[in-house]
Amino acid sequence: MPVIKCKGGFDWEGVPVLAYKEDGTHFKSITRRILYKGADELPSEVRYFEIAPGGHSTLERHEHLHVVIIQRGQGEVLLGNQIHEVNPFDVIEIPSNTWHQFRATRNEPFGFLCIVNINRDRPHRPDASEAENLKKDPAISTFIRL
């Protein structure tokens, strides 16, 4: 794949629009595109995610680290115990074992690139006691979608 041509907007030739995850109700109105599948010399994937207005990603944490670069729209991200507004071309490092969730906050798609190691652990969602702990902070309690 020497060059994957962008068709304009946020679509690329030969890159299908995939479900964000295979199933579940812990996310809403979000799609996934795999732009780069990695190589022996660079074992990382680059994905493009897009959240429709009112949508959100899964609240989760995991050992592996993400780097996210916002591409369009505006959103908010819970990162640990902080909520940040994020805009195009902001760069976000989501450290190991840090709770995170993205939400679209305007009436337009919210899109971002996410770089991740090919070899990674599975995301973990909060159990009942972890959810209770997160909800102790009123701002986080209002923000999160389980």
* Under 8 Å between Cβ of 108 and 66: no
Write out the catalytic residue numbers. 114
Strand spans (E) along the chain: 6-8, 11-12, 18-19, 28-36, 44-56, 66-72, 75-79, 82-86, 91-94, 100-104, 110-117
